[in-house]
Amino acid sequence: MKSKNILNIMKMNKAIFLDRDGTLNVDKGGFAHRLGEFELIDGVVEGLSLLKKKFYLFIITNQSGVGLKKFTENDLKKFNGKLINELKKEKIEIKKIYYCIHKPEENCNCRKPKTKMILDAAEEFDIELKKSFMIGDKGKDVELIRNVGGRGVLVLTGHGEKFKDAECDYVAKDMLDAAKWILMQ
């Protein structure tokens, strides 16, 4: 029985959890959902290319625009598909996207910084959260990973400047800077 427990511990995976808007793709103000406005942020491909060698990559994103009727869940899925396909062209695999479509006032269990989405990913993919990181441009992104014992990196892209005083483990100029710091840990 002991050997089975040791094998389970050895199988634990490390992950990078990524916010979407303002972290991976340009957030042009409002709710990013139009395919014609899709644009990756500089440094994202380079940073994720480094991280993919040692970590599973996931996206965890609040998308209250659906709940607020700003766009549909189908619009969200199309935008996410575009993002996944653009990263695939660069040989970057996102294991899965977890998203919350609830309005902030609904007080659901999945909206960041609550932990449902990250705990679902940890269970589904055998992730060791204490060895994992979250990269995002808002305080609630780094708060999420800290709520489960991991480490958070705030990127100054997107809304990052507004949250640079958030409690996090590192403040990065962009995704490439974040990736280099994480790989030195």
Please identify every residue annotated as catalytic: 19, 21
Residue 177 CA to residue 55 CA, distance in Å, equals 16
Torsion of CA 41, 46, 48, 49, to 10 degrees: 150
Query: Number of C-alpha atoms within 13 angstroms, CB side, residue 102?
Result: 13
Residue 156 CA to residue 153 CA, distance in Å, equals 10
